[in-house]
């Protein structure tokens, strides 16, 4: 997507483009995928503190403005499925005068069940949006992070087969194979299963990426943690599911938030994510995987340093940073 621009929205109407929100804001947090669900929830939680200037991103400018206006945030147009869009956004964001960037929340994500989708750059779209776009964004904005700062990458418990999430286990072969829409990778899977497996594999990539960030860039005043929000009814991840599953997602799963520890409301997950961004007691905690408010062990595969290094090096190559 060309012609990136920042647009601002506040509780009492829109501000001029590319102008910081006035007031007492002393620090900035950038949240990708902030137009609904978890992203909008954490934006609202943080925006209640006037010391934060909250910026949310979305692919559609009008929708981003409307969402930002509901929580008193700023809105930015960003398509994580386009590396050109990520670069253009990062350049504009870095050039804008605003309070120091203290936190970056890599939250945006998608899941396809109806065949394989391809990004603007020719990569498999789940991998492109859920991992590669965020990889490039963090790299381009890393020097803009003002210590003490935090990077939080939103993953999922579906990355861990031991959690019995009902989703197919990740299939991390090589990062190059994940990036290409190759039918051989999905051999033996139905289109729906392949789409769900690409999602769980992208969530594994999120954790691998987080740990590799800590190994390579840790100790410079920026912390890196992965976050599992749990299963959240009401988000857009079920948009491609069959009608009966969408009904269950909308009406049955919300009831399970009362009895199942891995099923959360967006508000509850947003509060846990906001804590990871803002709680002073977590200022020096880095290289961890949080499920809600608890730091727990991630999957065995997520600790594979060879896979993490392959993902890092391949991502550098695919984004043109190598």
Contact 77, 7 (CB under 8 A): yes
To the query of whether residue 199 is one of the catalytic residues in this protein, the response is: yes
Angle between helix axes 191-217 and 133-141 (nearest 10 degrees) is 20
Is the peptide bond prior to 110 cis by the omega test (within 30 degrees of 0)?
no
Contact 144, 222 (CB under 8 A): no
Contact 183, 206 (CB under 8 A): no
| Residue 96 three-state SS | coil
Cα 202 to Cα 77: distance, rounded to the nearest angstrom: 23
Instruction: Please compute, for residue 120, the number of CA atoms within 13 A of its CA located in the half-sphere on the CB side.
Output: 14
Contact 206, 225 (CB under 8 A): no
Catalytic residue list: 199
């Amino acid at each position: 997507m060309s012609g990136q621009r920042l647009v601002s929205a506040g509780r009492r109407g829109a501000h001029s483009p590319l102008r910081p929100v006035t007031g007492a804001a002393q620090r900035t947090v950038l949240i990708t995928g902030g137009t609904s669900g978890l992203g909008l929830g954490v934006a609202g939680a943080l925006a209640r503190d006037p010391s934060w200037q909250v910026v949310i991103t979305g692919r559609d400018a009008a929708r981003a403005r409307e969402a930002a206006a509901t929580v008193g945030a700023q809105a930015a147009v960003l398509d994580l499925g386009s590396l050109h869009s990520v670069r253009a956004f990062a350049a504009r964001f870095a050039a804008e005068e605003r309070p120091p960037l203290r936190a970056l929340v890599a939250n945006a994500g998608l899941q396809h069940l109806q065949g394989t989708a391809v990004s603007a750059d020719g990569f498999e779209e789940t991998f492109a949006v859920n991992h590669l776009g965020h990889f490039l964004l963090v790299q381009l904005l890393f020097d803009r992070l003002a210590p003490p700062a935090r990077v939080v990458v939103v993953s999922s418990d579906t990355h861990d087969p031991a959690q019995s999430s009902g989703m197919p286990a990740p299939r991390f072969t090589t990062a190059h194979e994940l990036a290409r829409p190759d039918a051989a990778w999905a051999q033996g899977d139905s289109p729906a299963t392949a789409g769900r497996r690409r999602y769980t594999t992208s969530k594994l990539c999120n954790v691998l990426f987080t740990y590799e960030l800590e190994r390579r860039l840790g100790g410079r005043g920026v912390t890196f943690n992965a976050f599992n929000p749990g299963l959240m009814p009401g988000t857009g991840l079920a948009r491609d599911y069959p009608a009966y599953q969408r009904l269950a997602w909308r009406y049955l799963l919300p009831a399970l938030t009362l009895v199942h520890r891995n099923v959360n409301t967006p508000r509850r997950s947003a509060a846990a994510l906001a804590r990871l961004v803002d709680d002073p007691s977590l200022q020096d905690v880095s290289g961890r995987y949080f499920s809600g408010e608890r730091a727990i062990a991630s999957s065995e595969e997520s600790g594979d340093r060879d896979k993490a290094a392959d993902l890092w090096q391949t991502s550098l190559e695919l984004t043109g940073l190598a």
